[in-house]
Chains A and B, each alone.
Chain A
Amino acid sequence: MPALLSPLGPAPSRWKRLRSELFGSRVDGLISIALGAALVAIAFGLLKWTLFQAQWAVIQANSTLFAVGRYPIEQQWRLWLLTALLAAATGLSWGLLRALPRDQPSGQRWPFNDRLAAGVLVALALAVPLWLQLSLAIQLRWWGITALVLVLRWALARWGSDVPRRIQRLVPLLWPGLYLVGMVLISGGLGLIQVAPAQWGGLLLTLVASSFAILLCFPLGLVLALGRRSELPLLRWGSVVYIEFIRGAPLITLLFLGQNILGFLLPGGLAPDRVWRAAWVLTFFAAAYVAEALRSGLAAVPRGQLEAAQSLGMTMPQSLVQVVLPQALRVALPAVVGQFITLLQDTTLLSLIGLLDLLGTARAVMANPAFLGKSAEVYLVLAVLFWGCCAALGLGSRALETRLNPSEQARYQR
């Protein structure tokens, strides 16, 4: 599709622009060279350390611990199954996205980005298990899972457009469904043996706690944001007090408070386990910030929009859902996703209340005399893991932003 690439501008002119930006004047040139040299030196040093000096045994020996904590070995097949299901859903969605026509400007980078993503996935799948020195059986599992993603992506890209629209529309519903299935697989029930949250750890715990909080803090924040703008004084003041109280308190105090208070507040059997208490506190905490982000979005929608909707006979809920919120969300989305990213990073505080999330696991591992002095390796891996999760959130948000953009929407509707 060479015709599609031309509007991006041929490569030479981009080089020229880069050159004029970096070496516009003599001072510019000197600064560019100095900064460039510093960057190369840093990158080189980091690479040298990673490849030759760092001792990755601490990660290799504890990879399972970092991934799932003390999840019982005989039940770990459930997590493998969940991973495979997630891979299948990813492959399906990805392939279907490829099958959709892309003729708008933002679609032009798609074929390149798409291949890049596939390439990165393959490289990671090949390199990481080898680097972690996983046993052959487990390596094979990871390769199988990667193959599942790629095969489904390929198949759906090939035949996806032949799938009737009615069924195509069901694919996004896979994800919430899968989330519920995942919760059952992880925690047990419905005939599966219970695995107490206390046994979850590492990346598993971090992802469960943060995804739970991210999913729930959004509707809660929305209610608070609408409440804060409501004409009912009780609702308005309730929302204001809640938001200001939460925003005025450090998360760590709330986490400690939650460990104690939720136990008193709720009757015996209902009081959630320590992990869930923390997850709820995270949810309530993030909701206040999400509410403020959404409030700024709501404020950006002109009053006339609600009036127009109501003058057409739409009820208040209809007007909000169909007219006001889509516009408010588009404005608030970057701030809300920023909040999600903060939330993900805030899960590290769980380690301070004695839970074995990624950071908690890391601290436990580093406390082991066998791995003394290996904290740089551990922290680097943690940073990369968190960076990966946050980057995924950021990419998702950018895709959604494009989708909510009216002029981009035409292609989804046609």
Chain B
Amino acid sequence: MASRNPAVMDPILEARGVQKWYPNGYHALRGVDLTVHRGEVVVIMGPSGSGKSTFIRTFNALEDFQQGSITIDGLSINEDTRNIEAIRREVGMVFQQFNLFPHLSVLDNLTLAPVLVRKRAKAQVEREALELLERVGIGEQAHKFPGQLSGGQQQRVAIARSLCMEPRLMLFDEPTSALDPEMVQEVLEVMQELAADGMTMVVVTHEVRFARNVASRVVLMAEGEVVEIAPPEQFFTAPSHPRTQQFLQQIG
């Protein structure tokens, strides 16, 4: 699939000059800008410790920041808890460690938030959850517990759990890094299908093939800054910044 150029340039996420210091004084984000348009898949790459996780986690306020602004679908992130909760309802997140709720069945993992947060009828949510599980290829496992599933299956459940909230933006922080190699593909396929369905996604990953095939744009972060943003063909074949060239060489 070629990289997509969204027909309408309709920004869903705008980060402007974001700076973050960790409580120990470490300057993790040094003025980062990023705009993500509706329907885009933005892949963030970069060396370890460059601030990718920190950056993507500011989008749903799991990390705070001290300077700059982030606006998500018209709501700007601030101290107001209600505002933050409203943003989190619309933004799904998939973690490296899956973070499924081990004390709940797979089905309950999916239905918990929609019932609790969106106040929807349990029966209806359950029907949709089963459909979603079917879609990510684990319909038969609905009544098992997370601990009984393989890593790849757990990550697909985690994706379905986020989707069950019907988010407008999905964040992925290295979704395949904790997986055994033979399970990486099944998760990437689910993500690729999701992208094909038009979901807006920001993905931190080291999977070059995924970035080449699915991304609209690829971002390189280094030392807490965005160094380069380019469509994948250009990013991987003719990067403009020497830091990008160096990074591409390192990952081979």
Point out residues on A near B: beta carbons under 8 Å: 302, 304-305, 307-316, 318, 322-323, 326-327, 330, 404, 406-407, 409-410, 413-414
Given known contacts A311-B60, A312-B113, A304 and B85 CB-to-CB distance under 8 angstroms: no
Q: Are A414 and B97 in contact (CB under 8 A)?
A: no
The count of chain B contact residues (Cβ–Cβ below 8 Å) is: 33
Q: Which B residues touch A323, using CB under 8 A?
A: 101, 112
- Among B103, B117, B118, B145, residue most surrounded by chain A Cβ atoms (within 10 Å): B103
Output the nearest chain A residue to B145 by Cβ-Cβ distance.
A406
19 pairs across A/B with beta carbons < 8 Å? A307-B99, A308-B93, A309-B113, A310-B62, A311-B60, A311-B91, A312-B88, A312-B92, A312-B161, A313-B85, A314-B116, A327-B102, A327-B103, A406-B102, A407-B147, A407-B148, A410-B105, A410-B145, A413-B108
Q: Which A residues touch B81, using CB under 8 A?
A: 315-316
Find A307's partner among B62, B91, B145, B162 (CB 8 Å cutoff): B62
- Among B97, B99, B161, B162, residue most surrounded by chain A Cβ atoms (within 10 Å): B99
Q: Are B116 and A322 in contact (CB under 8 A)?
A: yes
Nearest CB of A to B125, in Å = 13
- Chain A contact surface mostly: helix
Find B117's partner among A302, A313, A327, A406 (CB 8 Å cutoff): A313
Q: Which A residues touch B97, using CB under 8 A?
A: 302, 304
Q: Are A318 and B145 in contact (CB under 8 A)?
A: no
Chain A CB within 8 A of B89 CB: yes
A312 to B92, CA, bound (A): 7
Q: Are B103 and A326 in contact (CB under 8 A)?
A: yes
Q: Which B residues touch A407, using CB under 8 A?
A: 145, 147-148
Find A314's partner among B62, B91, B93, B117 (CB 8 Å cutoff): B117
Point out residues on B near A: beta carbons under 8 Å: 60, 62, 81, 85-86, 88-89, 91-93, 95, 97, 99-105, 108, 112-113, 116-118, 143, 145, 147-148, 158, 161-162, 165
A5 to B33, CA, bound (A): 66
CB-based closest 5 A-B pairs: A313-B89, A308-B99, A312-B113, A304-B99, A311-B93
Q: Are A311 and B147 in contact (CB under 8 A)?
A: no
Other A-B contacts than A312-B112, A414-B143, 18 sampled, CB-CB below 8 A, are A302-B97, A305-B99, A307-B99, A308-B95, A309-B101, A311-B93, A312-B92, A312-B165, A313-B89, A314-B113, A314-B116, A316-B81, A322-B112, A327-B102, A407-B145, A407-B147, A410-B105, A413-B105
Nearest CB of B to A325, in Å = 10
Output the nearest chain B residue to A323 by Cβ-Cβ distance.
B101
A313 to B120, CA, bound (A): 14
Q: Which A residues touch B85, using CB under 8 A?
A: 313, 315
Nearest CB of A to B171, in Å = 8
A354 to B11, CA, bound (A): 75
